[in-house]
Amino acid sequence: MSVLPTPQQNHLLAALPAEVQDRIFPHLELVSLPLGKVLYESGDTLCHAYFPTDAIISLLYVMESGASAEILMVGNDGLISVASFMGGESTPSRGIVQCAGYAYRLLGKRLKDEFDRHGELLHLMLRYTQALITQTAQTAVCNRHHSIDQQLCRLLLLLMDRLPDNQLTMTQELIANMLGVRREGVTEAAGKLQKLGVIEYSRGHIKVLDRPKLEELSCECYAIVKKEAERLLPNIYFPASGYSSE
């Protein structure tokens, strides 16, 4: 019998003071998020906020041609739908599940009501939003100026920070959509990493074998995003990795 995740497995929820948790937790709804599920499309009214526990959700910008690129990703470090408390109520991006798992869902109005108390949740969410802005800006810079090899390393590191171990299930097509590049480019970049012994890749399953080497091969973008997130949200955004690469 599998053990269902708890709200505390989401680091933002875990960081809230007890009195805020007491007000919010009774209204959280655990939902299963299968791979590829679209939580909302561009322009949709955002009725819920999602706090992932072991799933990873990407925000993608989709062009009229159908081409897409990832704007940012969220895992157990945060939440999807900052528009719920920032007043926007909608977004021009698509929210899609890139790694299957669970999340706790909360009505956007309840989150906004707590935000409007001007207490600890407000300060936490504003710092979290600033961290997301950094991730979004650095992703744009990385996609413009760095090689596919470096972009893939950055992406894998961000994914590993949000997963309980060093393995993930993700096809090359999904990775290509996230990076906004051709699938052939991802195939070539993944092949290089595998030859170097950094990853093991087979049929959509990726296992990171040498994280230090992966960080070495990545561009500076990953380190910048991580450093800023740790400054804004110490012990929340990027908890120490608890897995072994063995």
Per-residue pLDDT reduced to its tens digit, 214-232:
999 999 999 999 999 999 9
Is it the case that residue 241 has pLDDT exceeding 70?
Answer: no
Q: Give pLDDT, residue 207.
A: 94
* Whole-structure pTM value: 0.89
Binned at pLDDT 50, 70 and 90, residue 23 comes out as very high
Binned at pLDDT 50, 70 and 90, residue 238 comes out as low
The three-state secondary structure class of 244 is: coil
Mean predicted lDDT score pLDDT of the chain? 88
Binned at pLDDT 50, 70 and 90, residue 137 comes out as very high
Residues 161-175 pLDDT 10s: 998 888 888 888 888
The better pLDDT of the pair 246, 160 is held by: 160
Phi-psi region of 18 (alpha: psi -120 to 50; beta: other; left: phi over 0): alpha
CA–CA separation, 71 vs 195, rounded Å? 29
Q: Give pLDDT, residue 164.
A: 82
Residues 74-128 pLDDT 10s: 999 999 988 888 777 777 888 999 999 999 999 999 999 999 999 999 999 999 9
Q: Give pLDDT, residue 54.
A: 93
Structure tokens at 11: 């680091």
Q: Give pLDDT, residue 235.
A: 67
Of 32, 26, 28, the C-alpha closest to 4 is: 32
CA–CA separation, 220 vs 214, rounded Å? 12
Q: Give pLDDT, residue 217.
A: 95
Region 30-54: what's the mean pLDDT?
91
Q: Give pLDDT, residue 240.
A: 43
- Residue-range domains of the chain with CATH: 7-119 (2.60.120.10), 142-232 (1.10.10.10)
Is it the case that residue 132 has pLDDT exceeding 60?
Answer: yes
Rg (CA), the chain: 18
Structure tokens at 23: 């007000």
Q: Give pLDDT, residue 45.
A: 81
Is it the case that residue 186 has pLDDT exceeding 60?
Answer: yes
Q: Give pLDDT, residue 172.
A: 84
Q: Give pLDDT, residue 89.
A: 73
Q: Give pLDDT, residue 62.
A: 82
Structure tokens at 213: 């080497």
